[in-house]
Structure formats: C-alpha cells, structure tokens
C-alpha cells in the first residue's frame, strides 16, 4: 500500500508544470491620434490686469483640453438622481467625474477667439507607445515558496 501511495505521489509530482514564461510587448498595427479643444473666457478670469486675465484664460483653456482628452481615453463616470413626488418630477441632479493620467499630449496651439482663448491638444498613441517602451521593465527579484 505504501508503495502505491509513493508511486501515485511521484506520478502527480511528475505532472507538475514548471516553466519560465517570458512576455514581450507587441506593437499595435495602427496608432490613433486624438485631438481635443478647450475653451476659457478671458473676462471671467480673476486678475488686476488684462495680461494676467489672458494668461489665466490660456491656462484654463489648456486644462479644459486635457480634461477632454481624459474623457476620450478613460470615459466619463455619470451618476444621477431624480426626485419624484406624487408622480411629478421634483428635481434632477447629475454629476460627472473623470480621473486619469494623460502622458505624451502636446499643445498644438493656443489662440484667442473673441473674449475666449482656445487650446488645441494632440495625443499621438505612437508617441505614448514609445514612452512606455522606454520605461524600465520590472523583473522578479526573488521567489519565496511557503
């Protein structure tokens, strides 16, 4: 009986798959290019001088364009509530949330249009791919079995 148990244990141990698996990154066949526009009014900005308000409007337009890029990449989380009393709509409330990290975007141009500044951004996924390829790869330092 002990011989059979030992034989079965050896057969099961022999079926174990010990293999080292190495992965490589495969480049996509096409790289999309995303564009986004952001807009901000000059007159609504806080500041003592017109030049300061223009500078703040340019920054706000650029941030608005980055927000739009994040929407395109990660999507938008939308949550809403509605209040109904006696079959009559009392109120609606909607909230949106965007969260993400945008790397590799470049400012195409920022220009005034009337009382607004418009910022145009471009995100080329080929550039993003190259940025991630340059990042240091992680490797296994040690493995401890318990």
**Residue 142 domain flag:** no
Q: Read out DSSP for 54-116?
A: HHHHHHHHHHHHHHHHHHHHH--EEEEEEEEETTEEEEEEEEEE------SEEEEEEEEETTE
The answer to the question of residue 68 being in a domain is: yes
The answer to whether residue 63 sits within a structural domain is: yes
pLDDT digits (tens, 9 = 90+) for 48-90: 999 999 999 999 999 999 999 999 999 988 898 888 887 777 7
What is the bridge-based pairing of β-strands 77-85 and 33-41?
unpaired
Residue 44 lies in a domain: yes
- Predicted structure pTM score: 0.70
Residue range of the domain that includes 87: 31-134
Count how many domains the chain has.
Answer: 1
Quick check: is 7 in a domain?
no
Q: Is residue 24 part of a domain?
A: no
Q: Say if 88 falls within a structural domain.
A: yes
Predicted confidence (pLDDT) per residue in 21-53, tens digit: 677 777 788 999 999 999 999 999 998 999 999
């Amino acid at each position: 009986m002990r011989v059979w148990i030992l034989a079965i244990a050896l057969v099961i141990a022999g079926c174990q798959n010990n293999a080292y698996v190495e992965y490589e990154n495969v480049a996509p066949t096409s790289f999309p290019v995303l564009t986004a526009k952001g807009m901000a009014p000059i007159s609504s900005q806080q500041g003592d001088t017109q030049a300061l308000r223009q500078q703040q409007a340019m920054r706000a337009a650029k941030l608005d364009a980055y927000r739009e890029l994040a929407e395109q990449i990660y999507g938008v989380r939308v949550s809403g509530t509605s209040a109904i009393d006696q079959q009559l709509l009392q109120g609606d409330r909607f909230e949106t949330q965007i969260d993400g990290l945008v790397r590799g975007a470049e400012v195409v141009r920022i220009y005034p249009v009337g009382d607004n500044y418009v910022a145009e951004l471009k995100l080329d996924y080929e550039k993003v791919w190259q940025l991630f390829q340059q990042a240091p790869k992680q490797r296994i330092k040690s493995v401890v079995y318990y």
